[in-house]
């Protein structure tokens, strides 16, 4: 398998004004494409691994041959993380989740407002480049953050929501104001997609 850049599931300007079109074009067409190109290049040296879906490769990252493991962790992780990230955002989104995910958030965090505060703090306090995540760990929702392109999938956890806090996600519009980007990002969270990931996680 040679990995391909997936098409964005909406227009580049669909997340305006919260996430601007120029950022989406650079982030998807340039940054994500580079992760795809570089993981493909790394896996040329390990063709057996190149036949697996990227999530499986990331899940088993410790078994990937040592000489390419760092490249696969970074660029394969970058490909997997961005592919997932695009799907948990959308136009006409945001607000407070209903359904099973809404109930599970209340159950595990006390309230949606508590959850939102804790998740925003994780995203804000992630030092340097990385991601904040909502994951399912043995049936329970948990917030965590990862550095660079590391994925909770490598720790056996199931992501249901994520925010990219690399500067390339927000610098064009928000410059150094990561907190403003995070606050705006809540308006584009696609809770329907999060609900689907949560339901699937329960079946694993």
Rounded CA-CA distance 2/14 in Å is: 29
Rounded CA-CA distance 65/57 in Å is: 11
Q: How far is the CB of 111 from Mn ion (least distance, A)?
A: 30
- Yes or no: say if 96 and 64 are a contact pair by the CB < 8 Å rule: no
Q: How far is the CB of 85 from Mn ion (least distance, A)?
A: 7
Residue 82: CB partners within 8 Å, gap ≥ 6? 27, 28, 31, 32, 35, 164
Which of residues 76 and 97 has its CB atom nearest to Mn ion in the complex? Answer: 76
Which of residues 166 and 197 has its CB atom nearest to Mn ion in the complex? Answer: 166
Q: Which of 134, 164, 170, 198 binds Mn ion (CB under 5 A)?
A: 164
CB atoms within 10 A of CB 163: 25
Q: Which of 3, 86, 109, 166 binds Mn ion (CB under 5 A)?
A: 166
Rounded CA-CA distance 102/112 in Å is: 8
Label the pairing between strands 158-164 and 140-147.
Answer: unpaired
Question: What track of x and - describes contact with Mn ion for positions 34 through 73 (by CB under 5 A)?
Answer: ----------------------------------------
Q: How far is the CB of 179 from Mn ion (least distance, A)?
A: 18
Q: How far is the CB of 35 from Mn ion (least distance, A)?
A: 8
Size of the site for Mn ion (CB under 5 A): 2
Q: How far is the CB of 51 from Mn ion (least distance, A)?
A: 26
Which of residues 105 and 165 has its CB atom nearest to Mn ion in the complex? Answer: 165
Q: How far is the CB of 155 from Mn ion (least distance, A)?
A: 20
Q: Which of these ranges, 44-52, 97-105, 122-130, 161-169, lies near Mn ion under the rule CB under 5 A? A: 161-169
Which of residues 19 and 101 has its CB atom nearest to Mn ion in the complex? Answer: 19
- Strand order in 158-164's β-sheet? 140-147, 130-137, 158-164
Residues at the contact surface with Mn ion, assessed by CB under 5 A: 164, 166
């Amino acid at each position: 398998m040679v990995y391909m850049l997936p098409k964005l599931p909406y227009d580049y300007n669909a997340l305006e004004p919260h996430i601007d079109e120029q950022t989406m074009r650079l982030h998807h067409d340039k940054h994500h494409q580079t992760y795809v190109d570089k993981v493909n290049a790394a896996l040329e040296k390990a063709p057996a691994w190149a036949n697996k879906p990227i999530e499986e490769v990331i899940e088993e990252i410790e078994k990937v041959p040592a000489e390419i493991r760092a490249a696969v962790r970074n660029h394969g992780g970058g490909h997997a993380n961005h592919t997932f990230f695009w799907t948990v955002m959308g136009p006409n989104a945001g607000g407070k989740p209903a359904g099973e995910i809404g109930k599970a958030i209340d159950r595990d965090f006390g309230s949606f407002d508590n959850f939102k505060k804790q998740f925003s703090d994780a995203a804000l306090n992630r030092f340097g480049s990385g991601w904040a995540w909502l994951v399912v760990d043995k049936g329970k929702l948990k917030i965590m953050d990862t550095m660079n392109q590391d994925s909770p999938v490598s720790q056996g956890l199931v992501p249901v929501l994520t925010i990219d806090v690399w500067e390339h996600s927000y610098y064009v519009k928000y410059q150094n104001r990561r907190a403003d980007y995070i606050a705006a990002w809540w308006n584009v969270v696609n809770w329907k997609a999060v609900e689907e990931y949560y339901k699937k996680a329960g079946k694993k």
